[in-house]
Structure 1
């Protein structure tokens, strides 16, 4: 209590350590309109055991509504991928047909003539 009867609240910042035991990580003292935070930890990684010792992102990767997710390359460009695959397939078929045609055309020159 203050000298004129006002409250001076103290807030405690508790958490669980990696053994799931309760640990006091800090205190907040409030005096009127002013507050002061006193950390009782030496390494911030202690606070984020559930996150692998790293502070979580301010904004999630996909945003708060889920519409900011990175687009999938294949789904984004599926039409172009199908067109490119069709062109490559046509080129392979044309090359195979050209090879077969040239072999058929050269075959009479390779086969020896029959002498009777």
Structure 2
């Protein structure tokens, strides 16, 4: 049902809203609403502004009223915090970037942050 919602949004509202809803992920029914995780608070706010339109489409597809609630995913919250912290960013690069890994190994370096 979610793919049909995404297709209708693209046809009726264009690429901006489509790109946000296409990257959103339905997670669970919680307190009577379908909880949908989004990547950041900007997407959350933009989708929340369109919640009536989106709920109307989804309710039509489901054949019953289907309220929506948009939440920033926990994984994205942790990544945002880590991305803002230079120590965490360097630690992540050390684990994922082969060039940074090689520099640490060849130089015998350690991450130090004061």
Normalising by structure 2, we get a TM-score of: 0.23
Normalising by structure 1, we get a TM-score of: 0.23
Structure (1 or 2) with the greater helix fraction: 2
Structure (1 or 2) with the greater strand fraction: 1
Relative contact order: is structure 1 or structure 2 higher (C-alpha 8 Å, sep ≥ 6)?
A: 2
